[in-house]
Amino acid sequence: MGKFVNNVDEFFRFCADNDVKFVDLRFTDIKGAWHHLTYLLSALDKDMLSNGLPFDGSSIEAWQPINKSDMILKPDIETAFLDPFTADPTIIVFCDVFDIYKGELYEKCPRSIAKKALKYLEESGIGDVAFFGPENEFFIFDDVQIKDEINESFYRVDSEEGEWNDPSRNDDFGNIGHRPRTKGGYFPVAPTDSMVDLRAEMMQVLEEVGLEVVLGHHEVAQAQGEIGVKFGTLVEAADNVQKYKYVVRMVAHLNGKTATFMPKPLFGDNGNGMHVHQSIWKDGKNLFYKEGEYGNLSETARHYMGGVLKHAQAVAAFTNATTNSYKRLIPGFEAPSILTYSSQNRSASIRIPYGAGEKATRIETRFPDSSACPYLAFTALLLAGIDGIKNKYEPVGPMDIDLFELSLDEIREKGIQQMPHTLREAVEAMIKDNDFLKPVMSDAFIDAYKTYKFETQIWPDESRPTAFEFKTTYSC
């Protein structure tokens, strides 16, 4: 991630040079949502930024009780960047949360947890840096309507690219006719791709806020897109996801559209994934590389994959963090759920991308999605991989066949495990299998995360009838 400042003195000089009026302090909650407090720059000084600023931790879901609500935001000054969307010059700063009662980084702050994961990696002696490269897909819709009541519920999304609009007429222009069709969006030119200029604007704004953008393109589904950005260290990559989501949503919003990273907003078309590329390095050397081996992967990389695959059902509680996530992980929509690995094969849960030489060698987990909190998702993957390296777990595979063609019986016969089919299964797997997380995640955090997912996702989802259930059950 490109840096604009390196210390507090540079921060104030940068603010003066850019006529900054406001300082926006941002932190991430347990589900991955960004929160912020905005200070007048004139109200802040060097000591306040160095020592941290108070806020109410009891007002954030699954955090502090009201009788111990005082928390401290610790600005990470090197993350500062100008907000490209505010009317008045505003600088945004990522923050960690500090627990005044224990005198340490807060055990439920996802960014603080990610920092502890990097420290654990270094202390383990395995490596000194972990690189992560997420690929976040998104949908751009023209309209979204939602209703969730005791006797009625519905959603409706719309896009000019949706083939459901074939018989419709736009009052201003008539029907455009050019549409990518279901699973047809990879990747025709304009006018079938209606989002060329919108993605270009997003790419330019992402560069403005410090991300190194590589490419942008239409994705497989109708109204779906992706912008590729350069990888970073675990915390940098997670910070970049937060910036990426903010920019994509805001650019869409300011253009009269709405962006979502929801895993499966369209029935019968591809969903949004967050493929995550990973490698561990030490002393400037890629520990995942060994020329001549399968996929040029070293034993360390193989054992890392073994750990991820062994713990994948528990890891899914963090990488596939919503009930909607599991509507994406079904056969036929390029969302791998079979827990094996393969070189260049996109039907495997872990893929070894084609790359020439040491620098490009890495693994790619293909099951995560963008509903995950990136700090927690990357941490869970890293901890599972470290556990695999320590215990020399061998992954199932490699399997170079098209795994999407296998029947359930064939999968069972081959003894291959699958991803959970629901968020309940994932969280229950995490409850049973969490020792690999404990070097970094506390029991209190794991318990809070479990409770939060049951109370806000699993139970509310399981208790609601759906339109499909009325269609299949009403006349029984």
Task: Give the span between the Cα atoms of 94 and 104, in whole angstroms.
Answer: 18
Residue 146: name the closest of 270, 251, 265 by CA.
265
Tokens matching residue 104: 């340490």
Q: Residue ranges of the alpha helices (H) in 185-298?
A: 196-208, 234-254
Distance CA(235)–CA(238), nearest Å, equals: 5
Sign of the torsion angle spanned by Cα atoms 161, 164, 166, 168: negative
Cα gap 231→346, rounded to integer Å: 20
- What angle separates helix 234-254 from helix 374-391, to the nearest 10 degrees? 150
Helix (H) or strand (E) holding 26: strand 22-28
Position 398: which residue type? P
Q: Cα angle at 78 between 198 and 254, to 5 degrees?
A: 20
Q: Burial, 251: exposed, middle or buried (Cβ in 10 Å; 0-12, 13-18, 19+)?
A: buried
Cite the DSSP H helix spans in 255-362.
Answer: 299-310, 312-319, 325-328
C-alpha pair distances (Å), 274 with each of 17, 126, 336, 402: 37, 26, 12, 21
Write out the catalytic residue numbers: 56, 135, 137, 219, 226, 275, 346, 364, 366
DSSP state of 94: E
Place of tokens 């070894």: 352
What does each C-alpha distance from 189 to 170, 255, 472 come to in angstroms?
22, 21, 40
Say if strands 274-282 and 129-141 run parallel, antiparallel, or are unpaired: antiparallel
228 strand-pairing partners: 215
Contact 61, 31 (CB under 8 A): yes
Using the 8-state DSSP alphabet, how is residue 189 labeled? P
Rounded Cα distance between 185 and 70, Å, is 49
Q: From the CB of residue 370, how many other CB atoms can be counted at a distance below 10 Å?
A: 25
CB-based contact 91:38 (threshold 8 Å): no
CB proximity list for 369: less than 8 A, separation 6 or greater = 261, 263, 271, 272, 273, 274, 319, 320, 325, 328
Q: How far is CA 317 from CA 124, 288, 325, in A?
A: 25, 26, 10
Specify the 3-state DSSP secondary structure of 229.
strand
